[in-house]
Amino acid sequence: MGFMDKLGDVFNKATEKAGEAAAYASDKANVVAAQTKFKMEQQKLKGKIPTLYKELGEKVYIAMRDDLGHDVLTETVTDYTKQLNDINAEIVELDKKIEAVAQEFEEKVAEAAEAKEREKAAAAPVTEDVAEEIVEEVSEAKPAAEAVESVAEVTEVAPAVETVESVASKVEEI
């Protein structure tokens, strides 16, 4: 495998990393959108609660003022209590959905990280071999310290595009 092929591999890895970053950003945006939707539903439900309390208070007042009796008063309070309990239950369910969306995203990220670690562990011997070949090729034209530095740049692949440009410029100097 020639030096330019190795650079091509580095560039391909950089492209793959950029794709992974875009997918992560997209997934995160979907999580935030879903959570925002659920939170808006919660706020809408929470907005109904003061109205129900006000209506309940008015009906209790009217029932007491007009002496409508204990049964009417009990029925009114029971009806409004049920409505308030239903709203509170819906709010709790939305909290669970918000947490589930976040948990699902975290699990997906953790699985991707584990898969990446397995790939990295499997590829480690190849990376060392490639690094040795690059050292051999570069050491003929550069001092040993510069060769080690360029190998470190090529094998890190973190800012892969910058690495490709850096190594390419060093090759041109040779």
Q: Kindly report, residue by residue over 57-116, the tens digit of the pLDDT.
A: 999 999 999 998 899 999 999 999 999 999 999 999 999 999 999 999 899 888 888 888
pLDDT of residue 151: 44
Domain count, the chain: 1
pLDDT of residue 139: 56
pLDDT of residue 125: 58
Q: What is the mean pLDDT of residues 7-30?
A: 79
Q: Using pLDDT thresholds of 50, 70 and 90, give the confidence band for residue 40.
A: very high
111-168: pLDDT as tens digits:
888 888 888 777 655 556 666 666 666 555 545 445 445 444 444 444 444 555 555 4
Whole-model pTM over 0.75:
no
Q: What is the mean pLDDT of residues 20-32?
A: 84
Residues with Cβ within 8 Å of 101's Cβ and at least 6 positions away in sequence, in order, are: 31, 34, 35, 38
**Alpha carbon of 152 to those of 108, 134, 144, 146: distances in Å?**
30, 10, 12, 10
pLDDT of residue 7: 72
pLDDT of residue 98: 94
- Domain span at residue 95 reads 3-173
Residue 174 pLDDT exceeds 80: no
Q: What is the 3-state secondary structure (H, E, C) of 66-106?
A: CCCCHHHHHHHHHHHHHHHHHHHHHHHHHHHHHHHHHHHHH
Decide which of 69 and 44 is more confident.
Answer: 44
pLDDT of residue 44: 97
The identity of residue 122, as a single letter, is: A
Q: What is the mean pLDDT of residues 44-51?
A: 96
**Angstrom distance (rounded) from CA 162 to CA 155:** 12
Q: Using pLDDT thresholds of 50, 70 and 90, give the confidence band for residue 50.
A: very high
The identity of residue 64, as a single letter, is: M
